[in-house]
Each structure stands twice: as C-alpha cells, then as structure tokens.
Amino acid sequence: MKFFSTNNRTKKVSLKEAVLNGLASDNGLYMPEEIPQLPKEFITDLPNKSFQEIGFEVAKAFMGDDIPEERLKKIVEHTISFEAPLVEIEPTIFSLELFHGPTLAFKDFGARFMSQVLGYFAESQKQEIIILAATSGDTGSAVANGFLRVKGTKVVVLYPSGKVSEIQEKQFTTLGQNIIALEVKGTFDDCQRLVKEAFLNEELKQQFFLTSANSINIARLIPQTFYYFYAWSRLKNREEVVFSVPSGNFGNLTAGLIAKKMGLPIKHFIASTNANDIVPNYLETKKFEPRPSLSTVSNAMDVGNPSNFARMLDLYNHTFELLSNDITGFRFTDDETKSAMREVFKNSNYILDPHGAVGYLGLKKYLTDHPKSTGVFLETAHPAKFLEAVNETLGQSISVPEKLQVFLSKEKISIAVSKDFSEFKKLLERIL
C-alpha cells in the first residue's frame, strides 16, 4: 500500500518512506491511499478473537505488502503485551483503560508499534535514525521508553519547561543511553513548531536522518485503531456504540474514524476537549481557528493547533456535513473536570485521571440526549501520572504503581534551550 500527503494526494510514497519521513516534505500528513475494507465475517467474528489477533489482522490490511507476516505478527505482539480492560462504571458507560503499558498511558500503543516498525526499516539503513519528539507530557515518555536501546536510533525529546508533571518529566529525563531530553522555555506548540521547522531545514536534513514520533507519524496512528475493534467486540450490547475521545492533537480520534471507515459499526464519536476547543468550535461554526494553547488540568490535551485535523478533513473529503454527522464536540472547564472526578469516585468508587474525566463528561452529556446508545470513553492515562491534580481533587492520596515509583527515584538530566529555532539547530549540531 502507498501513502499520500494530505497536501498533495497525487504524490505517493512507500510505507518505509512515510514512516521514516514522519511529515511529508510539503508539510502534509501521510494517509493510506485507500482505507482497507475488512470483510463482514471479520467484524462478526471479532468477539472470538484475541486482542493480538485483531491487531495483527488490522495491521496487515495496511502493512501486509511491506512487512513480512511473521515480523508483523511479532511487532503486534510486542505492542499489545498488556491488557486494555473495558470497565463498566455506570450502566451503559464503560471506561476503556488504555494505561496498562510500561509508561501507563495510551501512547505506549503507538510508540511501541512505531519503534518496532522503525527498527525493522533501520536494518536496511546505514545512517543512524534521529527521532525528534515534541511532547506535552505522555508522548515523550512513551516514545523514549519505546525506543530505549533500539539499535540504530537516537531519540531527542522536546518538552515545555514547567508544563509537564514531575512524574511525566522523570519518565523521559532519567533514561540516558540513546535518549536525550531538551527542556524548552516555551509551550508545547513551540516544541511542535521547532520539530516541524527542523524537518523542513535543508542543512539539518543534510547532516542527519531525522524522523518524527508525534501522533503525526502514520506508524503511531495505525495501532491506535486496534483498540476500537477490540473494545467494540467486548461489549454485550453492540447496537448503538459511541466512543468519547479526550482529545488534544486528535490522533486517537482519527484512529477511531479510520476503524469505522474500515467497517467497524461505530455509531458516533464525541470529540471531548478541555478549554482548547478548536475542534468543538469548528463543529459549531464550520471555522477552524487555531490559537495559542491554554494551560489546563488535563495538560496532555493543551493543544492549540491540532495536527491531525488535516487527516480528519481528508477522511471526509473536506465535507463539513459528512464530518459533523459522525462527530459531536464538547468542551469542559477544569472545574467541571474536577467535579466529575469527585462524583465518579463517590458514586462508582472509580478513580478517573483528568483526561479520562473529560472523556467521561463528553459521553455523559451525549447520552443524555441519546439514551439508547452504549458509550465507551477512552481512559488515556493512569490517575497516578497526574498525582498532584488527582490527590488534590479527591482530597486523599491515591497509591502509585511500582512502575512509576522506579522513575521517581532517579535523577533528571535535561538540556535547557530557548524556543528560538536557530539556537535549537545549533544545539542539535553540537550534541548529535
């Protein structure tokens, strides 16, 4: 299968190129030339298949021509080496817990899959591959941990100074080896811009083999479709299934739209955001108006210019009516988010993290008007990843899993850098 850029549908590249380039040279995002249709029997048989079997079949539909089956099977098994339980917290409201991976956030799925796919392509590549990753928190830890010790690769994580939690920061600043952390004096949008500029900079491209690992990389997106199929198949009532996706860059939601287009009968999607409500605004006004991001309690979703929006438009042929038919947008304040965390803890004895809480709120609101639907919200991070916010909100100390404790006890090592591109470029030339 070939992949095109959202800025030019006629110029197609191989999977290897799409994965290694990350971003197309015209600044567009790669998309598969067609969304493969899975047979009806595959869908009806989903409840009898394991999560890994489902993941393999879905991955094969996109990558079967380019990666040998046995290797792809191994890549999927490595990616899905942990559970994604569907937990009923109220009648017709389910939490899809995507945080049981090594860094306790859903980004482990994309990062682990991508690191293995890249590792496969790196084998036929002489130059070391440099992965540039801008992070608002969880990408950095998932990518850094996914690539740790992968041969032929080096990871540079850019993160906004003071805008990620201590636990998040420790997960990518304490690894060493082939992982470098850059602490940027700016916002997440600044980090994202520096990465984008680096990819377009001829001098850097001459010296280094650069690639991205943000949700813009197609190898991050594809594995995120797996759990929509899996979650849908594990519900008892599959008549009118809706997914609420707490969103920032909209990679997770885009993956759900792709799953639907492949034939999974999802009835509707809810784009749930914090105050960074660019997409809910678009769904109300037909106007896409990016603006600087605002800081919120769900900081991994503080994105002012959601990059996957270009893919969403492409999936719906740039037709507002089609897109808005499948997606409803809601935004929630920090106060609403914290109240939801308290309510759900009190009524269901279930601890939401601030991101999952936004997803829960969106679902709850939608179900009020659609009582026949069954709802799943994606719980994208373990609550202990946002320890201070959760403890403060619930008024008690929740327990921290062993996996996180280990990171906390290690020493942070990072390099400070301004948000100025020329300074960033000089630094790269010095340290790589």
Ligand X SMILES: *Cc1c(COP(=O)(O)O)cnc(C)c1O
Chain positions contacting ligand X, by CB under 6 A: 105, 107, 137-138, 215, 246-252, 300-301, 355, 380-381
CA distance 171 to 164: 11
Nearer to ligand X, 72 or 190 (CB): 190
Which among 204, 172, 205, 131 has a CA at the least distance from the CA of 428?
204
Shortest Cβ 217–ligand X spacing (Å): 12
CA distance 328 to 372: 17
Query: Catalytic site residue 107?
Result: yes
Shortest Cβ 401–ligand X spacing (Å): 15
Shortest Cβ 390–ligand X spacing (Å): 12
Shortest Cβ 134–ligand X spacing (Å): 11
Residue 322 φ then ψ, to 5° = -65, -45
Shortest Cβ 298–ligand X spacing (Å): 7
Would you state the structure tokens that stand for residue 29, as one six-digit string? 């995002």
Nearer to ligand X, 32 or 137 (CB): 137
Catalytic residue among 2, 16, 49, 107: 107
At position 183, the amino acid (one-letter code) is: E
Total Cβ atoms within 10 A of residue 157:
28
Nearer to ligand X, 28 or 256 (CB): 256
Nearer to ligand X, 101 or 246 (CB): 246
Element (H, E) at 185: strand 179-185
**In DSSP terms, which residues pair with 129 in a beta bridge?**
153, 209
Shortest Cβ 137–ligand X spacing (Å): 6
Centroid of chain to Cα 425: 26
CA distance 84 to 229: 12
Nearer to ligand X, 5 or 139 (CB): 139
Q: Whose structure tokens read 């201070």? A: 388
CB-based burial of residue 373 (10 Å sphere; 0-12 exposed, 13-18 middle, 19+ buried)?
middle
Three-state DSSP state, 377: strand
In the complex, which residue's CB is closest to ligand X?
138
Nearer to ligand X, 18 or 253 (CB): 253
DSSP symbols for 24-44:
-TTSPBEEESS-PPPPHHHHH
Residue 262 φ then ψ, to 5° = -75, -10
Catalytic residues: 107
